[in-house]
Structure 1
């Protein structure tokens, strides 16, 4: 059989990576960096696997003057901080016990045993840093070529080990898959209620990774048809608005956004409750709730009042001309060039009347398409003059 070689890629030249590999000795690239390189995709995170015990990894790094952060030492993961950024180094593992949410692991020096505990065949590919020779224990290369997302071994067992693998299956299908593996799909469908045992944060993180994927519309529709989200997100029941949004994002050349796409899947009156259930941050929840409000007014006033991010969300989710969204995507709203002090300086006594007049000037400024500061001064003179005359004649 011909040797399989990992193609050369820019990430392999990251500053400090060669030295890290030399310091540790027995290591291989693993997981996403191997998979994505084989697919010709950019690589952001580089992971290394090694049979060295975590304490030995730490010792080698410290001896070499490389910062070692014990980010997940109980599970064998040490983060090595090199010149070009962090690299995760994980000791080979096997599962001792699992309960669908957490795993107890033991360390091993058996590469195949480590590969066997991974989720999908395309994620269990290793590459030797020196020769770039690939090791594939479970047919991951063939699955990658066929864009076939397949569990390693029995899919029911893999889901029982970690229920999140149900959502990971669909996320990988949306990003890499052409057609679902039938055994995997049937297992995910049968075990969908297992998602109820997961923390909402884990569900949120997977969902927000899935939604911007290239094939998110088709895969989300498949999830709805199969009842995957029904136990945890019954509000997501139709994909038409997501399809509408995805088409408009693509036509406008605007990057897919996970929160905007989540808004497209929700009834407007469900945004607040779903945001709370998924433990979104306060900022994310505000944006989600704002996105489902209909777009009203011209694109400039909308962007000025609601913010460009929210304006873009509303316009893309609407049926309004796409040119409005494309304009807002690059428009920088001006800063209102007047302060309360300018109203007081015109003879208005400090108090609520100052705020009222300031808002009135701002409203006129917005209505007149944001004229320059000189025109704002004239607007202020006119409105303040009217108010002073009115109060003096009262």
Structure 2
């Protein structure tokens, strides 16, 4: 059962009342994710606003009310209002003039149904009056939301032809909100999966990681492979890797480890550093993400022997990835801080060892024993140092 939007805390933000007064309640509607999630009782962070006003009119009206604006997407009619309780994206009503599957040429519109018709899914085309919070629903989005059904507005194939990324958005939204599959959407996504090849790697990576960040994306990932969608964007993900993804998700839950999309992407790849490197380059991942994929691909059966020693070597994230991917226990790392090795070269020189390579080797030997013994206190480090120096004395 959907909730009364008036119970959603975001609707009582002071900044939204100021914005409504500035632009006029008759000119704006809250739209999209905030309305959808508010009806579901899901926490809302970002609020989007649709308006009949042109961008210049929005900027002028906000200026008169003392509200600072930023032209974040002015070419597409979007202005961001900077409010005390969070920014709000304000977008002039639009209609598509031309689309090529990657980008759209738009024109400004004046009525709400026309703007709603260009959106992707019925559950994302719900508009709320800023004062009464009455919902305008032009495509039965409320019924779909209540039923847990993600359905394209109008013809699914046409919607996908306008923007190929909607295939991946469908799977993400279906994973998050869907309780039942929409046959038309499923068939359209499978039929047009090849069109994903024309999208930028960055857009694909962003959607794939967003999907993998959801609580349990495994059934969707498995379905995407079965329907021929996943091989287009991630051909490396074969059945053994998809099975490993399910194991990793279960282990995260059991061990109290926060879900992580990069770790889950690692599960979908064979444990081969060269494959990790190729995928990271193809998806244009960040340097940090690339590094994690490569470290995860280097996992070995011995990783589980000493999780904290592994974390000291690789960092918490790297060790957690390797442990979960290898079937180990990472629970002991989640509230643990990696200690800093306190011994410095100067302390070794002060004990009579000549500065140079011998100091470095001694430092390394003491550190290795310190890690192996579970990071003992300073007194034990001093003992270890004494023993190592004794080995150097004829």
Q: What TM-score bracket applies, with the shorter chain setting the length? A: over 0.9
Q: Give the alignment's TM-score, normalised by structure 2.
A: 0.94
Question: Aligned residue pairs: how many?
Answer: 383
What is the correspondence of 1:187-336 to structure 2 with a 5 Å cutoff? 187-238=188-239, 239-269=242-272, 270-292=275-297, 293-294=299-300, 295-320=303-328, 324-336=329-341
Q: CA deviation at 1:350?
A: 2.0
Whether 1:10 aligns to 2:9 is yes
1:359-389: per-residue Cα shift (whole Å, max 9, x none)?
Answer: 11100111111110121112112212322x1
Of 124-133 and 229-238, the range deviating more from structure 2: 229-238
1:104-140: per-residue Cα shift (whole Å, max 9, x none)?
Answer: 1111111000000000000000001100100000010
Q: Is the 8 A contact 1:46 1:87 kept in 2?
A: yes
Q: Is the 8 A contact 1:260 1:288 kept in 2?
A: yes
Unaligned stretches of 5+ residues in structure 1: none
Q: CA deviation at 1:5?
A: 5.4
Provide the alpha-carbon RMSD of the alignment.
1.3
**What is the rounded CA distance, in whole Å, between the counterparts of 1:153 and 1:91 in structure 2?**
22
**What is the rounded CA distance, in whole Å, between the counterparts of 2:113 and 2:350 in structure 1?**
78
Q: CA deviation at 1:299?
A: 1.3
**SS of the residue aligned with 2:41?**
coil
**SS of the residue aligned with 1:95?**
strand
Q: Is the 8 A contact 2:32 2:125 kept in 1?
A: yes
Q: Give the alignment's TM-score, normalised by structure 1.
A: 0.94
Report the counterpart of residue 65 of structure 1 in structure 2. 66
Unaligned stretches of 5+ residues in structure 2: none
**SS of the residue aligned with 1:131?**
coil
Of 60-69 and 70-79, the range deviating more from structure 2: 60-69
Report the counterpart of residue 74 of structure 1 in structure 2. 75
Of 358-367 and 212-221, the range deviating more from structure 2: 212-221
Structure 1 ranges of 4+ moved more than 3 A = none
**What is the rounded CA distance, in whole Å, between the counterparts of 2:253 and 2:305 in structure 1?**
24
**What is the rounded CA distance, in whole Å, between the counterparts of 1:237 and 1:185 in structure 2?**
21
1:244-292: per-residue Cα shift (whole Å, max 9, x none)?
Answer: 0111112223221101111111112221211111111111111121123
Of 192-201 and 283-292, the range deviating more from structure 2: 283-292
Report the counterpart of residue 372 of structure 1 in structure 2. 377
- Find the partner of 1:352 among 354, 357, 365: 357
Of 243-252 and 132-141, the range deviating more from structure 2: 243-252
**What is the rounded CA distance, in whole Å, between the counterparts of 2:13 and 2:323 in structure 1?**
41
CA 1:80/1:380 → structure 2, altered by over 3 Å: closer, same or farther? same
